[in-house]
Structure 1
Amino acid sequence: MSYRLYTANLLFIGHEKITVNSEKSLQSVLKQAVKKWSMTKPVSLYRLRHSYAAHLVESGTDLRYIKELFGHRSSMTTEI
């Protein structure tokens, strides 16, 4: 499964901007962050992406915008 975060393929951590070239790069950054923060709950790219989408919906962001942001072909995928 490929992960497209934002239209510019960037991952933002704090105030630093990190260019992400691949899913493997994202996984590496996430793994380092989980270790740094001593997190005990399971964390994955899928959960991070889904949580972000859920927060956007809860804050009233238009589903069409979220669809484009996440690169979905169908709005039905976004609605799930």
Structure 2
Amino acid sequence: MEGGQARGRAWWSGGQQEGTGRWRIDGNLWCERWNPDKWGGGREICQKVYKDGNQVSFIVVSGSGDNDTVTLKKGNAYDL
């Protein structure tokens, strides 16, 4: 993907959903904005990011959203 563009997939008890968006770095924060019909209602969320092995945690600093932890997979594991 071109820098600044994002593509993702989320799973929860009700199913799954794919989304596209944009990201940027602001100082020491990771900021992202997903398409309005997907996650976050189109509002930007900025987060601190912490990596421990293959686990990455996102702690929300500004905007609304939930803190999250994801597991890194090699390559394009979900064919995004």
Pair in the same fold by TM > 0.5: no
Larger Rg: 1
**Higher strand residue share:** 2
